Amino acid sequence: MKCRQTNFYVEQDRLPDILRAVLDELIPSYRDLPHFMGVTLIKADHGERAEVIATSFWDDGLEGSDEASNRFVDAVDRITGSNPSRRRFDTLYVGFRAGDGTFIQA
């Protein structure tokens, strides 16, 4: 499993704009790509700013995702005025409890 992580800082009042970019732009552009599994968006508060980490998960490779990722980075730059950092990772382990209580591992 592969993942792509985008990190950036944003003013707290711009968080709704970032969430809208993820929901309206990033996820729809990834949804039909081969190997796309899902995305997480987390934040840590740092006073008036928040650190945001968006991580997309892919079951095999990142083929075809560069263009969509670049559009998301452009949206982040437009909203925050910052240049987000991006990294690619190999996922070693994923485990979570589904809504029905089943523990899922990948």
CA distance 27 to 10: 20
Greatest alpha-carbon span in the chain: 42
Assign 101 to helix, strand or coil: coil
Q: What is the pLDDT of residues 81-96, one digit of tens each?
A: 888 999 999 989 988 8
The pLDDT value recorded for residue 94 is: 86
Beta carbons within 8 Å of 57's beta carbon, 6+ residues apart: 1, 2, 3, 36, 37, 38, 39, 40, 91, 94
The 10s digit of each residue's pLDDT in 33-80 is: 888 998 999 999 999 999 999 999 998 778 778 888 888 888 888 888
pLDDT of residue 90: 93
Tell me if residue 25 falls in helix, strand or coil.
Answer: helix
Query: Out of 3.40.50.80, 3.30.70.100, 3.30.70.3270, 3.40.50.2000, which CATH number does the structure's domain 2-105 have?
Result: 3.30.70.100
| Torsion on CA atoms 67, 56, 53, 101, rounded to nearest 10 | 160
Q: Where are the domains of the chain?
A: 2-105
Contacts of 106 (CB under 8 A, 6+ apart): 1, 91, 93, 94, 95
